[in-house]
Amino acid sequence: MNEININNVTYKDVSYEDENIIKLEWWEHIRHRPGMYIGKLGDGTYSDDGIYVLLKEVLDNAVDEYMMGYGKSIDITIDEGVVHVRDYGRGIPLGKVVDVSSQMNTGGKYDSKAFKKSVGMNGVGIKAVNALSSYMLVQSFRDGETKAVEYSRAQITDNKPVQLSGEANGTMVKFVPDSEIFKDYHFKDEYVETLLKNYVFLNAGLTINYNNKKFFSKNGLVDLLNEYMTSEPLYPVIHLEGTDIEVAITHANQYGEEYYSFVNGQYTTQGGTHLSAFRESASRVIKEYYNKNFEYSDIRMGITAAVSIKVEEPVFESQTKTKLGSKDIAPGGQSIVKFIGDFVKKELDNYLHKNPETSDILLKKITDSEKERKAIAGVTKLAKERAKKANLHNKKLRDCRLHYSDTKGENLDETCIFITEGDSASGSITQSRNPNHQAVFSLRGKPLNTFGLTKKIVYENEEFNLLQAALNIEDGLEGLRYNKVIIATDADVDGMHIRLLMITFFLQFFPDLIKNNHVFILQTPLFRVRNKKETLYCYSEEERLKAIEKLSPNPEITRFKGLGEISPSEFKNFIGSDLRIDPVTMKKSDAVKEMLEFYMGKNTMERQNFIINNLVVEEDI
C-alpha cells in the first residue's frame, strides 16, 4: 500500500478496483445503515430511540387510514418486546401484501388519491421495520378474506395463501425488534403513552387502546395544551380550526416560549417552516390588534401554543421527520407562510375582537413583559457586549465543530454540551470528548441560586450570561447549538447541589429547554472493580456486588468521589458509546413552583427537618 502527500497531510493510497464495488440488497442496506432510516438505535432508555421509531412507522400507517376516513380505533399491545398493532381501515389490497411489506418503492402513498395527506414516507417505514425485526407478521383483512405473510429479518418464512375470514377489515402488524441491533431493549410505557396521546390529540375522535388503557380526545389541541402545560394558563385556550390547520394558544406567567408543532400528525420537535410562520404571524396579528408598537419578544413571552397542519407531499429535513423543510403547500404551490398567515390573521383577530376579557388579560401580560424588559435594557446591552468580547473558546467554553442549529443535512442529534465544575473535571472531559459533537462549559464554583429572581440576573451574572450565549437561547430554542445539555457533576453532596442550582436556573428562565427534552444529568460510575485480567465500572451498589462476585477473589475496588479522579483515558468510555444520561423532565402533575420553593427557597428549617428525617448514611467500602 503506497502513501501519498496532499497539502502536507499523508494518506494511505487504498486500492479502488472492481472488487471494491459492492451491491447491497435493500434489507442489507437498512441493517448496515439503520441510522439513515430510523435516526439512532438505543435500547429504549430515551424517547427518540429506534424501537419507538419502528412502533411509530407502523402506527403512522394505521393513523393514515383514520385520517382518510376509515376505521375509528386502533388496538395496540406490547408484551415482553413483542409489538402488536391492529387497525380497522381498508386493509392492504390482498394481492399486494408481500410487495407493500418487502419491496422498496412500493406503497399506496405514491397515489395522492388514496393517501392525500399522509405522514408515512411512501412505504419506506414498514420496510425498515421488516429489515430491523427478528420477526414480523403482516396480515390484511379485506371484504371477508385475509392474507398473511411472516418474515425474519426481511426474509419470508411463511407466505400464506388468501383465506376466508370473518374479521373486520383492516391491517394487523406484529413485530419483534432485532436484539442483535437493539441491544437489551425495552419499551417504556411513558414514552409509548406520550406518542399515543399525541396521535389522539391530533385526531379528535380516534380511539387508541393500549395494554388495557384507552386514549381518546374530544377537543384536539386544547386537550394537548391542558395535558402538557406545567403552569396555569392566564386565559382560556384560544382554539382555532380550519381546513388542514388547527391552532391552540394561551399564555402563562413563565419565561420562554413553549410550542408543539405537527405536520400530518408528525410531531416536528425541531419545528420548521410551519412553526416559524406561525410564530411570526401570531405576533404580527396581536401587535396589529392592539395597534401598539410592541416587540415580538414581549408578545411571545410566556406563550404556550400548538399548531398542526396537513399538507400534500411534505418535505422533511431528515428521515425521522423532526423538522419541516417544505416552503410550498400542494396542490397549487401556495406558500406555507401565506397559508398560515392568512388563517391566523382572520381567525385570531376575530377571536380577540369577540372575547374582550381574553384580550385584556393578554394585553396586561404583554405590557408586564415589556416593563421587565425595559427595566433591564441597560444591563442586557452591556451583558451582550461582554459576551461578544469574552473569549469563550479559551475561557469557559470548549466548543465542538458541529452544532444542532446547523443545516448541513447531517444528523446532529448527538451534539451535546457538558456543563461541569472545576478545572480537573472539565479537563478530563475535554481530553476525552468527541470534538465534532461534544462541547464542554466549565463552571467556576457553585452557581447562584436563581429561585425567585428576575431575568435581570441572567445578564448581571457573568457565568449565566456566558452560558446563555454559548447555548444561543436568549431568543428561544430555534438557535439552540446543542441537542443535549448535560449537567456533569460529582456524585456527592456538592455535586447534587450544583445539579439543583442548574436545574433551577433552567426552570426559572428557560423552561422550554427542559420541556423539549434537551436537559440531562450525566451518570458516571461510582466504583471501579478490577483484577489483573478485567476492569468493570459500576454505577450502583448492586453492580459493585455483582462485579466483586464475577472477579473474585479479592479484586481491587476504587470508589470515585469526583469526576476529576477519573483519568481522561477512562472518561472516554463514559461519554462515548456507553454514555449514560438521565433526562430532566416536566409533567403537568409536577408542582414545579412548590417544589422549587421547598428545595431552593428560604424555608430553611422546614427543609432542614426534611433532610434530617430522610438522611441515609453511606457505609464505607
The pLDDT > 90 percentage for the chain reads: 43
Least confident stretch, 23-37, 139-153, 449-463: 23-37
Question: Phi/psi of residue 310, each to 5°?
Answer: -125, 125
Give the pLDDT score at 614: 53
579 by Cβ neighbours in 10 Å (0-12 / 13-18 / 19+) ranks as: middle
Distance (Å, whole) CA 218 – CA 192 = 20
Of 57-66, 314-323, 453-462, 604-613, where does the model show the most confidence? 57-66
Task: Report CA Rg, the chain.
Answer: 27
Task: Please determine, looking at this structure, whether the domain spanning 221-374 carries the CATH number 3.40.605.10.
Answer: no
Distance (Å, whole) CA 312 – CA 293 = 37
* CATH tag, 377-524+570-613: 3.40.50.670
Residues 193-235: tens digit of each pLDDT: 999 999 999 999 999 999 999 999 999 999 999 998 878 899 9
Name residue, grid cell 419578544.
Answer: 297
Instruction: Kindly tell me if the per-residue pLDDT of 427 is higher than 50.
Output: yes
Of 5-9, 151-155, 564-568, where does the model show the most confidence? 151-155
Give the pLDDT score at 235: 96
Give the pLDDT score at 618: 46
Question: Phi/psi of residue 292, each to 5°?
Answer: -125, 155
Beta carbons within 8 Å of 419's beta carbon, 6+ residues apart: 441, 443, 467, 485, 486, 487, 488, 502
What is the identity of the amino acid at 524?
Answer: T
Instruction: Kindly tell me if the per-residue pLDDT of 534 is higher than 60.
Output: yes
Give the pLDDT score at 93: 92
SS3 (DSSP) at 331: coil
The full set of domain ranges for the chain reads 29-216, 221-374, 377-524+570-613, 531-559
Give the pLDDT score at 118: 53
Distance (Å, whole) CA 26 – CA 36 = 13
Give the pLDDT score at 617: 46
For strands 170-177 and 82-87, give the pairing.
Answer: antiparallel
Task: Name the more confident of 352 and 613.
Answer: 352
Helices (H) and strands (E) in the chain, counts: 21, 27
Distance (Å, whole) CA 459 – CA 512 = 19
SS3 (DSSP) at 177: strand
For residue 389, what are the CA distances in angstroms to 361, 382, 466, 527? 40, 11, 11, 42
Q: What pLDDT band is residue 115 in, cutting at 50, 70 and 90?
A: very low
Give the pLDDT score at 447: 87
Distance (Å, whole) CA 309 – CA 302 = 23
> In terms of Cα–Cα distance, which of 326, 295, 297, 294 is closest to 312?
326
Q: What pLDDT band is residue 177 in, cutting at 50, 70 and 90?
A: very high
Cβ–Cβ under 8 Å, residues 259 and 319? no
SS3 (DSSP) at 158: strand
Q: Is the peptide bond before 553 cis (omega within 30 degrees of 0)?
A: yes
Of 277-286, 308-317, 326-335, 462-471, where does the model show the most confidence? 277-286
Instruction: Kindly tell me if the per-residue pLDDT of 246 is higher than 70.
Output: yes
What is the identity of the amino acid at 499?
Answer: R
**Do the domains at 29-216 and 221-374 have one common CATH topology?**
no
Give the pLDDT score at 490: 83
Bridge partners, 334 (sequence order)? 329
Task: Name the more confident of 559 and 34.
Answer: 559
SS3 (DSSP) at 523: coil
pTM comes to 0.76
> In terms of Cα–Cα distance, which of 304, 305, 287 is closest to 296?
287
Cβ–Cβ under 8 Å, residues 208 and 215? yes
Distance (Å, whole) CA 600 – CA 587 = 19
Q: Is the peptide bond before 331 cis (omega within 30 degrees of 0)?
A: yes
Instruction: Kindly tell me if the per-residue pLDDT of 562 is higher than 80.
Output: no
Name residue, grid cell 405514491.
Answer: 110
Instruction: Kindly tell me if the per-residue pLDDT of 327 is higher than 70.
Output: no
SS3 (DSSP) at 505: helix
For residue 198, what is the enclosing H or E element?
helix 189-202
Distance (Å, whole) CA 263 – CA 261 = 7
Name residue, grid cell 404551490.
Answer: 333
Beta carbons within 8 Å of 382's beta carbon, 6+ residues apart: 459
For residue 405, what are the CA distances in angstroms to 408, 514, 575? 9, 17, 22
**Mean pLDDT over all residues of the chain?**
83
Distance (Å, whole) CA 36 – CA 616 = 47
Question: Angle at which helices 273-290 and 336-354 pack, to 10 degrees?
Answer: 40
Distance (Å, whole) CA 487 – CA 95 = 54
Task: Please determine, looking at this structure, whether the domain spanning 29-216 carries the CATH number 3.40.30.10.
Answer: no
Instruction: Kindly tell me if the per-residue pLDDT of 125 is higher than 60.
Output: yes
Name residue, grid cell 437489551.
Answer: 184
